[in-house]
Amino acid sequence: MDNKAVARELVRRALERQSVRSTDQAEAPMPLPVSAYLDPYRYRHEIDRIFKRLPLALALSIEIKEPGSFRTMEILGVPVLITRADDGKARAFINTCRHRGAPVCEEKHGKSDRFVCRYHAWSYDHCGKLVGMYGQSTFGDIDRSAFGLTPLPCAERCGLVWVGLRPDVQFDIDEWLGDFAEQLNSLKLTEWYIYTQRELEGPGWKVAWDGYLESYHHNTLHANTVGKFTIGNLMLHDTYGPHQRITFGRKSLMDIMGKPESEWGDPEEHVRLIHSGFPNLSISGILGDHALVSQVFPTDRPDRTITRQTVLAAREPKTDAEKAATEGFSQVTLTAVKDEDYEIGLKIQKGLESGGNREFVFGRNEPALQHYHKWVARLSAVD
């Protein structure tokens, strides 16, 4: 099905729900003990089982578009170097020199021929091969091929570079994505233009992430930002293994309610999709020509995360009108997340230890949250 046909079907479903002021719902409300957010032992266990074992979408393919380009980051204490070599392939390595461990690349992103360690100038190519040693003879008869950068498991699919944070853990990306790959492919992520990228500090992983999975708060918390465009507490919910697609209805749905389909205009104008890749990737198209990619990363502090926000535009904004529209989208998403979602999230985080709640409750109207927390439990239980 092409995107328009998918949107048309979603508009039908959304109208059906909205006509009776309903939404897709779980079978029953679901309680979750607050210890799921607070227990430090559980936190470490889940980080180990989930974030350090599953493929994480660490970069967009378009962040390392050209051969020779690279991207570095530190995720949960692991320094990561992602490269695209001349063969066009994306690879990931631990960003530590095999001599005595200094980083081999200290820039966040760019393009280069080689990575030269600043300490003693060992140099590596984009395939991780050790290609240069200063004073090699003083190391005797050394086998250079045994001193390449340590690779991390890495696969490129659907316009994203998926990386595992431990060299000894392997994954099958096609099996992991399953039929969610088709959903991600529909976004054509390789065709967008990166307008801006920024990092935001937010509350702990689960408090931060909960806000990405429901529309219940949109007309209340986001009344003056993203909630202006969408109908609060209306959400369509589709799942693909642990991954999810959430559909919000735009307010324009109210204008076509009861009208024949021939008068709907472009069905994509009436819904907004959020693709939620387990455990920490969210791609939301809040307004037509723009999208927001959010990657929420836990940190060494259980009560804090770093979110990388990437604002995408369908094309590089050139005219004043295009520039204003893209900047407007960028600002509204920044405000909604930083000053609204994370502002209240940090207060929730602070109140967790107060004893005010022994458990939280997810309503029937919060099926994506229920789905997510069930998968956290399921995957952290797997040996």
- The interface partner of residue 122, options being Fe ion, ligand FES, none and the CB cut-off 5 to 8 Å by kind, is ligand FES
- The interface partner of residue 99, options being ligand FES, Fe ion, none and the CB cut-off 5 to 8 Å by kind, is ligand FES
The answer to whether the Cα torsion of 189, 174, 92, 45 is positive or negative is positive
Half-sphere exposure of 133 (CA within 13 A, CB side): 19
For the chain, helix, strand, coil in percent to 5 are 35, 30, 35
76: alpha, beta or left? (left if phi > 0; alpha if psi -120 to 50): left
User: Is residue 122 involved in binding ligand FES (CB under 6 A)?
Assistant: yes
User: Is residue 372 involved in binding ligand FES (CB under 6 A)?
Assistant: no
CB 97 within 8 A of CB 117: yes
User: Near ligand FES by CB under 6 A, which window of 13-21, 95-103, 303-311, 349-357?
Assistant: 95-103
From the CB of 100, what's the least distance to ligand FES, in Å?
A: 4
H or E stretch covering 361: strand 359-362
99/304 with CB nearer ligand FES: 99
List the one residue from 12, 44, 108, 120 that touches ligand FES (CB under 6 A): 120
CA 104 to centroid of chain Cα atoms:
26
- The interface partner of residue 100, options being Fe ion, ligand FES, none and the CB cut-off 5 to 8 Å by kind, is ligand FES
User: Is residue 211 involved in binding Fe ion (CB under 5 A)?
Assistant: yes
122/162 with CB nearer ligand FES: 122
Paired tokens of 226: 């993203």
Paired tokens of 258: 């009861």
From the CB of 295, what's the least distance to ligand FES, in Å?
A: 29
120/315 with CB nearer ligand FES: 120
From the CB of 178, what's the least distance to Fe ion, in Å?
A: 27
230/370 with CB nearer Fe ion: 230
Give the integer Cα–Cα distance in Å for 50 and 76.
12
* β-strand pairing of 69-75 with 78-84: antiparallel
User: Near ligand FES by CB under 6 A, which window of 30-38, 77-85, 98-106, 153-161?
Assistant: 98-106
User: Is residue 350 involved in binding ligand FES (CB under 6 A)?
Assistant: no
User: Near ligand FES by CB under 6 A, which window of 116-124, 167-175, 215-223, 329-337?
Assistant: 116-124
CA distances, 327 to each of 11, 20, 151, 318, 332 (Å): 28, 37, 38, 12, 9
From the CB of 148, what's the least distance to ligand FES, in Å?
A: 13
CA 273 to centroid of chain Cα atoms:
14
What number of other Cβ atoms are within 10 A of residue 105's Cβ?
25
- The interface partner of residue 211, options being Fe ion, ligand FES, none and the CB cut-off 5 to 8 Å by kind, is Fe ion
Strand segments, DSSP code E, in 61-165 are: 69-75, 78-84, 90-94, 109-111, 115-116, 123-124, 130-132, 151-152, 154-157, 160-163
Which has the closest alpha carbon to 208: 342, 301, 333? 342
User: Is residue 234 involved in binding ligand FES (CB under 6 A)?
Assistant: no
Per-residue contact flags (x/-) with ligand FES for residues 47 to 86, judged by CB under 6 A: ----------------------------------------
List the one residue from 19, 119, 254, 378 that touches ligand FES (CB under 6 A): 119
User: Is residue 108 involved in binding ligand FES (CB under 6 A)?
Assistant: no
Give the integer Cα–Cα distance in Å for 289 and 307.
22
Planar angle of CA 77, 81, 84, nearest 5 degrees:
160
- The interface partner of residue 341, options being ligand FES, Fe ion, none and the CB cut-off 5 to 8 Å by kind, is Fe ion
For ligand FES (CB under 6 A), the number of binding residues is 10
| Omega before residue 298 within 30° of 0, cis | no
Give the integer Cα–Cα distance in Å for 246 and 36.
24
List the one residue from 42, 52, 99, 157 that touches ligand FES (CB under 6 A): 99
* Contact set for Fe ion, span 308-367 (CB under 5 A): 341
101/328 with CB nearer ligand FES: 101
From the CB of 92, what's the least distance to ligand FES, in Å?
A: 19
**Contact residues for ligand FES (CB under 6 A)?**
97, 99-102, 117, 119-122
Which spans of this chain sit near Fe ion (rule: CB under 5 A)?
A: 211, 341
